[in-house]
Structure 1
Amino acid sequence: MKRLTIILATLALIVGMSSCNDKLNVVNPNNQTTYDFGNTESDLQEAIIACYNRIRLEGTFARVGYTLDAVRGDEVWNSSQQWYLAYDNLNATATDEIGNLWPWRDNYHVVNRTNFVLSKVDNVDMSQDAYNQIKGQALFLRSLAYYELATYYQTVPLITDYASYSDINTMYASNNTQDEVFDQIETDLKTAMEILPSRDDGGEWAKGRATCGSAAGYLARVLMFRHKYAEAYTVLKDIIAGKYGSYHLMADYGDNFREGPAYENNAESLFEVQYMDYGTGGTDEEWTPVNISSEATQGNAVESNYASQVFGSWGDLAGSPWLYNLFKKEKCTDGRLDPRLYWTLVTYEDEYNSDTGVKTAAYPNGDPRTNTVYQTDITETPVSNTAQGGISIAKWTYARANIISSVTTGLHNGINLRLMRYSDVLLRAAECENEINGPTQTAIDYINQVRERVALPDLQLADFPTADALFEQIANVERPKEFGCENGRGIDLLRWGFFYDAGRMNQLIQHGYYKLDGTANTDELTAETASASSFQYYNKGHEYFPIYQSTLDANPNLVGNSANKNEDNGPAFLAKWSVHPVVK
């Protein structure tokens, strides 16, 4: 149920002007300001919904805020060769807007609204349960925004006091270090974990909202970014044990990428962004903070970038040939294709014609896979972009749902974006176990739970003699196949330090090969056969995105990050941590 999307509460954060003549001060009860709003439990419940609204903007998760991290990774490339190109090539200048400004602007809107709630909640009379719910959600959503900001822009202002916006001496905030931001995120998420209900205890209320399980999952992510594997492992094992609610893998991997109450907010999802099912919202598109409308479509536009241009999309982003061939290299226990290929990339496969409805290892009740895409029976793989080619992406699109015959571009897709799933908990637990204790059967068992869902053969511990070997399997086989083309791969490359090791950079270049031949090329490309690789254009420091130049110009206390300065982050990373060498 998408209760959060049904409630449309607009919070006007406007400070009214005061008259010099008290006799002319007439209070309009219909025009609330931040002075007189937020002083009741009802106000704060509305304000929290307004905070959730801001994670559905262009720069948060409605489009580029989601897709830019995928483009930064090695599973997705810019098939239109425009719009995202500077971020695909990791060489954006400070005047490029879509990645430098939009996620910054929209995530700080989340910070602003959650800071407002947190500035009020301690002074409002309400039950302990209501207090915990309101404060916990605000802390989680602020942490989510800062996690995105710190992993996109590295050094960002850490603003936690709402009063600072009204003081000229504190309004223009300076950069904080990434560690300082992560320290605050850790503190906030630990509190949220303690006071938010679980998905079980929260019941209907918890559907679509942050829970203690959401906070625990993101805390593990932050800890692992900082290589605090022992601390992260404790949290992950507690999630697995059910301390923060009961989670399990859905029997059908594809259930994580469908819309509707039977699939969304399911038992595998720790947190997801809520959207209205296709065609059930309004007609106005809320792209930016100024596009507020009571008739908003309440959808996302990821499909407009991911889907095939043949079916009406903008044809901007394609899945990498490396990812496609990774799926093809390993079959299920009955010799059939990994079902995750079907839900990740749109390709024509002979098997999809012959096996529909057949009881297979991955689908014992009947295989749903077909070569029907957007209600069209295809005979070849449709291109991502009609000029440059590429393999279109199936995730977060209706390509497999077949409820529409073509893409409606813009904010119209209603599939909830699952930001964290239980399979991530299992694979992260395996990674932590491997980092702490080396390759063990425990780590293998975590991985095999994820593989068994899609009927792949179990891994054997004997095949991984070193921690480096098992890490290679996790980083470049298990995670790409489970989370291919989702938000998070770019962040993984950052935390693993792949940009700071020659062997890993060469590997990324190989993963990033693409062909500009106007076809959906699925060949295993090499330097000789590829048109290029996104990573061959990488400028040092641009694994993060530059802070927008106009933002720097407007704030005298703000300085550029490593991307603004073309500064190598390798020495600082390697002074603290090491990079796993490539294992072939």
Structure 2
Amino acid sequence: MKSIYKILTILVLVGGLTACNDQLDVVDPNSQTTYDFGDSESELQEAIIACYNRIRLEGTFARVGYTMDAVRGDEVWNSSQQWYITYDNLNSPGTIGIGDEWIYRDCYHVVNRTNFVLSKVDGVQMSEDSYNEIAGQALFLRALAYHQLATYYQTVPLVTDYATYGSLNTLYASNNTQDEIFDQVELDLTAAMNMLPSRDEGGEWAKGRATCGSAAGYLARALMFRHKFSEAYTVLKDIIAGKYGQYELTADYGDNFREGAAYENNKESLFEVQFMDYGTGGTDDEWTPVNISSEASQGQAVESNYASHEFGSWADLAGSPWLYNLFKKENCTDGRLDPRLYWTLVTYEDEYNTYTDLKTAAYPNGDPRSNTVYQTEITETPTSNGDNGGISIAKWTNARNNIYSSITVGLRCGVNLRLMRYSDVLLRAAECENEINGPTQTAIDYINIVRNRVALEDLQLEDFPTADHLFEQIANVERPKEFGCENGRGIDLLRWGFFYDDGRLNQLIEHAYYKRDGTASTEELTEETADDSSFKYYYKGHEYFPIFQNTLNANPNLVGNSANKNEDNGPAFREKYSIHPVVDLD
């Protein structure tokens, strides 16, 4: 009997242990990993949304990933003289997180997630349309991230295979050349351009998802960065002809900077970053790349850097007096100020008080309270920074929207960032036409479409005797007035070679003059009257931002770029491309 009891006890124990093993094998559906996720169309659709989430981080476009290019340009200066100072002065030592690390880190978050989608999509059964939509969006977003990386950091690792992350031997990638990065960007965008629906499809494709038009627009940008003007011009003309969806300028320039469904994802927008309207998100500002709180605020913090101290912002960045005076040099055909000044910089102008019941592009907002900022009547220009002064920036803020009465600093602003607008297509088409054929009426016509929207007088071909003259008009008049304080000016300066020509570098120094006298100085500044110019401190090679030293320390295969080495990129640039000399348009 004792033997029987022993046998029964053993059987019970074995059975119990077996049952425990079965329970341990059960997969928790709330704790999925990349190994057991992404094997169905619905899961890949969720993964694509997760990819879009990564372009809304601080290092991609929610703050520094956007503003760092603006401060690298000549239209914006660091009015706090703290947070952005080494990037404004183009001499970062490579040990500061905001520009050297955060943008790099968060762009690779995008690369990582898009690579995951692309590693899975070929193995999932779905319709051809669904495949093209999923893969096309992943390719566009990966190209967008690499476009940022190549134009911020010059030489970075090119990782396109998700399996690379599975081994330390392959995880520590070495640098690729900037040309190799742009080759991949062009491949990805060309594929996406031929796979994605257009905005004309409606639904989600007209409400912020990447479309074939988005890909075509960014492909033209990528091609022009390497002076492939003929190839870019073909793409731009196809966009204008409607091949990738119907685009046109909004009647009111200001509609590109307003918050709300009536204005965002409008007919002028080729691609924009989506943020929830003010007050509709949660209360958690997620500054880290974890970004998983169900109470995340879901807004951008560009406003917190651009707006005025007087209305509650951090007041880190201000518009340059050069940009202000550029607007003041040319009035509309009826004598009014260029309305783009109103939407770009927060200045008090007497005539804004007369803009009532005139809802056209030539009259900013049809509101009799046109000198109202954050629902406060202003009688003088507010200062950007309480200590150093400066002109605060209106774009991507609520200053001219007046939906709410004050700034809540952090990731709270709901204005979508329009990364590419149809006006950019037109001005780039004019630039390509000028580069290929010299000044022509066709190039002038493209520019005049943009000028007509804001009731400026047409340019005349006879006023531009050479390609250099028309280029000067495009580069230093038309583009800064249309895109002032937007992301992209720094990238333009790179592709034009302005850092590699003494005349152009002196011009940048003059454009960037500012005063630290605690006022919103709007006077035209000279070397004698200015307190400083950020470009006076430029170190060769620092037109790109250095790769973070801790990143270099952690990766034995990675080496520094031109900024880490203080290396002059001028000789290599001039060997491949030409630089337009400075010409006087007066």
The match for 1:40 is: 40
Q: Which letter does structure 1 place at the counterpart of 2:273? A: V
Residue 31 of structure 1 deviates from its aligned partner by: 1.1
Q: 1:321 to 1:70 in 2, by over 3 A?
A: same
| Contact preservation (8 Å) 1:334, 1:360 | no
1:203 Cα deviation after fit: 3.5
Q: Which residue of 2 aligns with 1:508?
A: 508
Residue 241 (structure 1) aligned with residue 241 (structure 2): yes
The whole-number CA distance in structure 1 between the counterparts of 2:285 and 2:544 is 29
The 5-angstrom pairing of residues 35-434 of structure 1 reads 35-358=35-358, 362-363=362-363, 366=366, 370-434=370-434
The AA in structure 1 aligned to 2:101 is L
What is the rounded CA distance, in whole Å, between the counterparts of 1:278 and 1:227 in structure 2?
Answer: 40
Q: Which residue of 2 aligns with 1:445?
A: 445
Distance 1:48 1:360 in 2: 39
Moved more, 395-404 or 109-118: 395-404
Give distance in 1, aligned partners of 2:387 and 2:229: 45
SS at match of 1:56: coil
C-alpha deviation, 1:547, in angstroms: 0.2
Gaps of 5+ in 1: 1-20
Q: In structure 1, the residue corresponding to 2:231 is in which secondary structure?
A: helix
1:475-501 deviations in Å (ceiling 9; x for gaps): 000000000000000000000000000
Residues 53/91 of structure 1: CA separation in 2 closer, same or farther (3 Å cut):
same
Give yes or no for contact 1:373–1:400 (8 Å, CA) kept in 2. Answer: yes
- Supply the distance in 2 between the matched residues of 1:394 and 1:246 (Cα, whole angstroms): 28
TM-score, normalised to structure 1, is 0.95
3-state SS, counterpart of residue 32 of structure 2: coil
Q: How much does 1:206 deviate? A: 3.8
CA shift digits 1:299-335 (9 cap, x unpaired) = 0000000000000000100000000000000000000
What's the CA shift for 1:235? 0.1
Query: Does structure 1 conserve the Cα–Cα contact (< 8 Å) formed by 2:197 and 2:205?
Result: no
**Contact kept in structure 2, 1:342 and 1:369, CA below 8 Å:** no
Q: How does 1:22-41 map to 2 (within 5 A)?
A: 25-41=25-41
Partner of 1:550: 550
Greater shift after overlay, 336-345 or 286-295? 286-295
2:547–2:564 Cα contact (<8 Å) kept:
yes
Change (3 A) 1:359 1:195: closer
Aligned Cα root-mean-square deviation (Å): 1.4
Counterpart CA distance in 2 for 1:504 and 1:335 is 32
In 2, Cα distance between equivalents of 1:29 and 1:405: 44
CA distance in 2, matches of 1:360, 1:555: 55
2:18 match: none
How big is the shift at 1:368?
6.3
Residue number in structure 1 paired with 2:9: none
CA deviation vs aligned residue, 1:116-149 (integer Å, no higher than 9, x gap): 0000000001111111100000000000000000
Paired residue secondary structure (2:158): coil
Equivalent position SS for 2:100: coil
CA deviation digits over 1:352-406, x for unaligned, max 9? 1123335778249956671111111111000000000000000000111112221
Amino acid in structure 1 at the alignment position of 2:311: F
Q: Deviation per CA, 1:434-455, whole angstroms, max 9, x where unpaired?
A: 0000000000000000000000
Equivalent residues in 2 for 1:515-534 (5 A)?
515-534=515-534
Q: CA deviation at 1:28?
A: 2.1
1:23 to 1:87, Cα distance in 2 relative to 1, 3 A? same
Distance across 2 between alignment mates of 1:83 and 1:379: 30
Letter in 2 for 1:314: W
Distance in 2 between residues matched to 1:363 and 1:319, nearest whole Å: 22
> How many angstroms does 1:561 deviate by?
0.1
1:127–1:172: structure 2 CA closer, same or farther, 3 Å change rule?
A: same
Matches of 1:130 and 1:364, distance apart in 2: 42
Larger radius of gyration: 2
Alignment-mate amino acid for residue 508 of structure 2: L
In the alignment, residue 248 of structure 1 is paired with which amino acid?
A: E
CA–CA distance in structure 2, aligned partners of residues 100 and 449 of structure 1: 39
* Maintained 8 Å contact 1:158/1:175: yes
Judging changes above 3 Å, is the alpha-carbon distance between structure 1 residues 39 and 373 closer, same or farther for their aligned structure 2 residues? same
Q: In structure 2, what residue type is equivalent to 1:81?
A: Q
Using the TM superposition, give the Cα deviation of residue 514 of structure 1 relative to its aligned residue in structure 2, in angstroms.
Answer: 0.2
Does the CA-based 8 Å contact 1:333-1:361 persist in structure 2?
A: no
Alignment of 1:436 with 2:436, yes or no, is yes
**C-alpha spacing 1:387/1:540, structure 2 compared with 1 (3 Å):** same
Aligned to 2:15: none
Q: 1:369–1:128: structure 2 CA closer, same or farther, 3 Å change rule? A: farther
Question: Counterpart of 1:255 in structure 2: which amino acid?
Answer: D
Return the alpha-carbon distance in structure 2 between the equivalents of residues 368 and 136 of structure 1.
46
Structure 1 letter corresponding to 2:381: T
Aligned-pair CA distance for 1:30: 2.3
Conserved in 2, the CA contact under 8 Å of 1:306 and 1:392?
A: yes
| Residues 84-124 of structure 1, C-alpha deviations (whole Å, 9 max, x = no match) | 00000000011011000000000000000000000000000
- Paired letter, 2:54: R
CA distance in 1, matches of 2:366, 2:393: 24
Once the two structures are superposed, what CA deviation does each residue of 1:194-234 show, in whole Å capped at 9, x if it has no partner? Answer: 01000002444441100000000000000000000000000
CA contact (8 A) 1:116 1:162 kept: yes
CA distance 1:258–1:152, shift in 2 (3 Å): same
Q: In 2 relative to 1, CA 371–562 (structure 1 residues): closer, same or farther, beyond 3 Å? A: same
Query: Does the CA contact (< 8 Å) of 2:172 and 2:555 recur in 1?
Result: yes
- TM-score, length of structure 2 as denominator length: 0.95
How far, CA to CA, are the matches of 2:486 and 2:467 in structure 1? Answer: 26
What is the aligned partner in structure 2 of residue 9 from structure 1? none
CA distance in 1, matches of 2:366, 2:59: 40
Quote the Cα distance in structure 2 between the aligned partners of 1:61 and 1:29.
32
Paired residue type of 1:500: Y
Contact 2:150 2:181 in 1 (8 A): yes
Distance 1:424 1:367 in 2: 28
SS of residue in 2 equivalent to 1:270? strand
Separation (CA, whole Å) in 2 of partners of 1:361 and 1:270: 20
- The verdict on how the C-alpha distance between 1:22 and 1:542 changes in structure 2, with shifts beyond 3 A counting, is farther
Q: Deviations over 1:222-271 (max 9, x none)?
A: 00000000000000000000000000000000000001111000000000
Contact 1:444 1:459 in 2 (8 A): yes
Q: Is the 8 A contact 1:89 1:537 kept in 2?
A: yes
| Distance (whole Å) between structure 2 residues aligned to residue 327 and residue 364 of structure 1 | 14
Q: Quick one: structure 1 residues 367 and 583, their matched pair in 2 at CA, closer, same or farther if it must change by over 3 Å?
A: farther
For the 8 Å contact 1:152–1:544, the answer to whether it is kept is yes
| Percent identity for Structure 1 against Structure 2 | 82
Contact 2:353/2:368 (8 A) holds in 1: no
- Letter aligned with residue 378 of structure 1: I
Judge which range, 368-377 or 48-57, deviates more. Answer: 368-377
The unaligned stretches of length 5 or more in structure 2 are 1-20
| Counterpart amino acid of residue 310 in structure 2 | V
Is the Cα contact below 8 Å between 1:315 and 1:385 reproduced in 2? yes
1:238 partner amino acid: D
Is the 1:217–1:236 contact (alpha carbons within 8 Å) kept by the matching residues of 2? yes
CA distance in 2, matches of 1:332, 1:110: 43
